[in-house]
Structure 1
Amino acid sequence: MFNLFQKKYFLRDHLDNFIDIHNHILPGIDDGATDVETSIELVKGFQKLGISQFIATPHVMNDYYPNTRERIIEAREALITELELRGMKETKIKAAAEYMMDQAFLELVQEEELLTLMENMVLVEMSYFQPPINLNEILFKLQTAQYKPVLAHPERYAFFHSKSLNKYAELKDRGCLFQLNALSLVGHYGKNMQEIAFRLLEEGMIDFLGTDTHQLRHLDKLSTAQLFKKQIELVTPIIKRTKETFVF
C-alpha cells in the first residue's frame, strides 16, 4: 500500500529523450491540435519534458475523422515546414495513425498500406462503450495482412476490467501489444483506469508507453505528475523499451 508519507518522484525526470508514439500534434485533422500554431505550442511543451521525437497518430475514424493516408502526410509536412522556418529543426516527426477498429478499418486493411508506428506495427483503438462485435475477425485479418496490432490505452476500456484480467490475457494471446497512456498513471481518466494501468504493469502485459496528448493541459499534467518509487520502477522498463523499439 502507498501512503502520504512515502516519497514521490517526478515522472518527467524519466522522460528525457523519450519518443512519444501516441499523440495528436498534427494540425487541424482531429480532436488534437486545431492549427499549426497550436501544434507548435504542443511541441514546445513537449520540449520542456525533454521530448522532441514523435510518431504522430491522428485518429482515423470513419464517422468523425475520415483521415486518409495522404491527408495525414500533408499535415505532417505542413508542421515540419513551419518548425524548420522557426529554427526548430531538432524536432523529428513520423506520420502514423490511430485506427478505430470498425468496418471501415477492415476495408483499409484490405485495400491500402496502413501508416505504421514502426515496420508492421499498427496503433489501433476501440470504442469506450463496447468492443467491436467482430473483434476477432479484425485482429485475424490485420495479422493475415502481416500487421501487428498495438492496442492504444487498454486500461481505458472499462468493459475489460475484471479481477482476473482474462480479457486482456486473451488479447495478448491473440498477438496484441499494449500501449499504456502515461496520464493513466496519475489518475487523469479516473481511479479505475489508474488501478488497471498498474495491474497491467504488474502482470507484465504493457509493452509501450505513449502520452496520447491532445491539448496543452495534458502536458501540464505530465509536467507535475509524481509517482511512488515502486510505481516508477514498474514504468521505467516500459519507457526504456519504447525508446529502444522506435528509434528513427
Structure 2
Amino acid sequence: MFLFSRRKKLLKDFISNGYIDIHSHLLPNIDDGSKSITETIDLIKSLENLGFKSAIATPHIYKAVWDNSRSDIENKYQNTLPDVTQNCNLSLHIAAEYMLDENFEKLLSAGNLLTLKNEYVLVEMSYLSPPIMLFDLLFELQLEGYKPVLAHPERYNFYHNHFEYYHKLKTAGCLFQMNLLSSTGYYGKHVAECADRLLKENLIDFVGSDVHHQNHIASFENKVLLKNSNSIPALVANNLFFEK
C-alpha cells in the first residue's frame, strides 16, 4: 500500500532560491517543449517566480521523433538567448537529453556529446522497453569518459515490478535524476510509488523539473505526496554542482 506523508507541503516549497534546474524543454520549436519564444519567456518567468536561478534546456535527441543534432541545439540557443537575456533574470544554458538507442551509439562513436556539465550527460530510455544494449551503452559511455545521468528513472514502468534493475543500473555507474513532478502524483500513482521507494533507498542523485509547458508549472502548486519527501531538499542542493 502506498503511504503518503502526513504533513503535505506544496512542491514549490521545496524549491530554494538559487535552484539550478538540470532538465527542461525551454528552447522554442525544437522538440515537444516550448512552441514559441513568447512561451519560452513566459515559462522562464514562471520558473523565476518559483525560485529558479538557472536552468539547463535539454532538447530531445531522438532520431525517430526529434532528429536534433548538437549544432541544431546550439544554433537554437544562440537565436533564443538575446530575448531571454533581455526579458528574464534566469541564467539559461543548454545540454541535450539523449535517447539510448542505435543512433546514440553512432553519436557516441562520433564524440563531442552536449553535456550538462563537464562529462555528465543526460540520457533517457523508451517508456515501452529498455534498449537491448542498455548496459553495453552505459559501459561505452563511461569508457569514453562520460558519466550517464538517467532522466526520470521512476517513469520507466517496466522496472516497477523488477526493482532490482535500478540497483543494477546504479552498480553499472548510472546516476539518477528524478522529476520533481513525480512527487505530486502528476504522472500517476505507480510512478509516485516508485519515486518514493527510490528516495527511500537513496538511489536518486539529482532532481529536475522536466518542464515542457505551463501545466507543468502549475503543478508546483500541488502537494507533495511522498512519505520520503524529506530527502528532496538535499537533492535540490545537489543540483548546485551544475552551476555555471
Scaled by the length of structure 2, the TM-score of the pair is 0.94
Partner SS, residue 9 of structure 1: coil
Kindly provide the amino acid, as one letter, of the partner of residue 101 in structure 1. L
1:237 pairs with 219, 234, 237, which one?
Answer: 234
Task: Summarize deviations over 1:157-197 as a string: whole Å, max 9, x none.
Answer: 011112x6200000000000000001110111110000000
2:243 pairs with 228, 240, 247, which one?
Answer: 247
1:183 pairs with 181, 184, 187, which one?
Answer: 181
Q: Distance between the aligned counterparts of 1:66 and 1:41, measured in 2?
A: 26
Q: Distance between the aligned counterparts of 1:48 and 1:158, measured in 2?
A: 33
Partner SS, residue 239 of structure 1: helix
Q: Distance between the aligned counterparts of 2:203 and 2:56, measured in 1?
A: 22
Q: Distance between the aligned counterparts of 1:18 and 1:131, measured in 2?
A: 31
Shift, 1:24, TM fit: 0.2
Partner SS, residue 52 of structure 2: coil
Contact 1:7 1:229 in 2 (8 A): no
Corresponding residue of 1:11:
11
Unaligned runs of 5+ in 2: none
Unaligned runs of 5+ in 1: none
Partner SS, residue 124 of structure 1: strand
Kindly provide the amino acid, as one letter, of the partner of residue 38 in structure 2. E
Corresponding residue of 2:107:
108
Task: Summarize deviations over 1:92-140 as a string: whole Å, max 9, x none.
Answer: 1111000000111001011030010111010000000000011121111
Partner SS, residue 28 of structure 1: coil
Contact 2:4 2:227 in 1 (8 A): no
Cα distance change on mapping 1:29 and 1:228 into 2, 3 Å: closer
Q: Distance between the aligned counterparts of 1:2 and 1:74, measured in 2?
A: 44
Q: Distance between the aligned counterparts of 2:59 and 2:36, measured in 1?
A: 13
Corresponding residue of 1:44:
45
Q: Distance between the aligned counterparts of 1:229 and 1:203, measured in 2?
A: 13
2:145 aligned with 1:146: yes
Shift, 1:2, TM fit: 3.7
2:131 aligned with 1:132: yes
Task: Summarize deviations over 1:40-90 as a string: whole Å, max 9, x none.
Answer: 11101111101130111000000111111111011112221112333x2x2
Q: Distance between the aligned counterparts of 1:98 and 1:117, measured in 2?
A: 9
Cα distance change on mapping 1:235 and 1:207 into 2, 3 Å: same
Give % identity: 41
Q: Distance between the aligned counterparts of 2:198 and 2:239, measured in 1?
A: 16
Root mean square deviation of aligned Cα: 1.5
38-47 or 204-213, which moves further after superposition?
Answer: 38-47
Kindly provide the amino acid, as one letter, of the partner of residue 233 in structure 1. N
Cα distance change on mapping 1:134 and 1:85 into 2, 3 Å: same
Contact 1:56 1:97 in 2 (8 A): yes
Cα distance change on mapping 1:138 and 1:45 into 2, 3 Å: same
Equivalent residues, number: 241
| Pairing of 1:1-248 with structure 2 (within 5 A) | 1-2=3-4, 6-15=6-15, 16-86=17-87, 88=88, 90-162=89-161, 165-222=163-220, 224-227=221-224, 231-243=228-240, 245-248=241-244
